[in-house]
Chains A and B, each alone.
Chain A
Amino acid sequence: AQSVTQLGSHVSVSEGALVLLRCNYSSSVPPYLFWYVQYPNQGLQLLLKYTTGATLVKGINGFEAEFKKSETSFHLTKPSAHMSDAAEYFCAVSLDTGRRALTFGSGTRLQVQP
């Protein structure tokens, strides 16, 4: 069975600093990987996804993530944090099995300090 681990339930950065949110996955077959963001009292919005091909994926709002098979990781980064980036971020995996739903990590709450 697949699983997703997000290291750090809370991450705090200063405005303008690098954002790094960690995600590791466990899967016996090639995974499809997603990052979603959830703002307070809202649903989840897709930031980016990795399917096949280029391992560096660019998403919305300046975020990007790199799929590293050897490290089973899909960390999310942004060079310079904005106050508006404060939200909860979820990493998710989807596999080509009978169940095609997303398996989510536990989430990382990002705080951006002025």
Chain B
Amino acid sequence: DSGVTQTPKHLITATGQRVTLRCSPRSGDLSVYWYQQSLDQGLQFLIQYYNGEERAKGNILERFSAQQFPDLHSELNLSSLELGDSALYFCASSVLGRYTDTQYFGPGTRLTVL
């Protein structure tokens, strides 16, 4: 158990819909990262937050957005869903968001878009 929690574990929805994935970082960690794991794209970095502010963006679609709240939990919002958005979405957290930090991964949310 990494100490990072993600809910829900599974999510099944239809094309065009909007979903919200939630992540609670390890106690004391200020930085949260979101990654997408799919069969064709592998593991890709989406976005990073540090203490409530966006720090870095990766291959995140405009239909996707995220935020980190004052209690440091984070939410990833996916809208206008397409079949290709079906993937495993991981949240990771680290202490300060430095490149030297170890990132601890949650168990993931498996999103299926039908």
Contact = CB atoms under 8 A, between A and B. Distances in A.
A100 B55 contact: yes
Given A43-B105, A44-B90, A94 B100 contact: yes
Given A43-B90, A43-B105, A45-B105, A100 B99 contact: yes
B63 interface: no
B42 A104 contact: yes
Contacts of B97: 100
Give the size range of B's interface with the partner: 20 to 34
Contacts, number: 61
B102 A101 contact: no
Contacts of A42: 107-108
User: Interface of chain A, helix or strand or loop or mixed?
Assistant: loop
A49 B107 CA distance: 20
Interface string A68-107: 0000000000000000000000100011111111111111
A21 B97 CA distance: 28
Give the size range of A's interface with the partner: 20 to 34
A43 B45 contact: no
A68 to B, nearest CB: 20
Interface of B: 2, 4, 33, 35, 42-45, 48, 55-58, 90, 92, 97-108
10 contacts: A42-B107, A43-B2, A43-B107, A45-B105, A95-B99, A97-B99, A101-B48, A102-B45, A107-B42, A107-B43
Interface of A: 32, 34, 36, 42-46, 49, 51, 90, 94-107
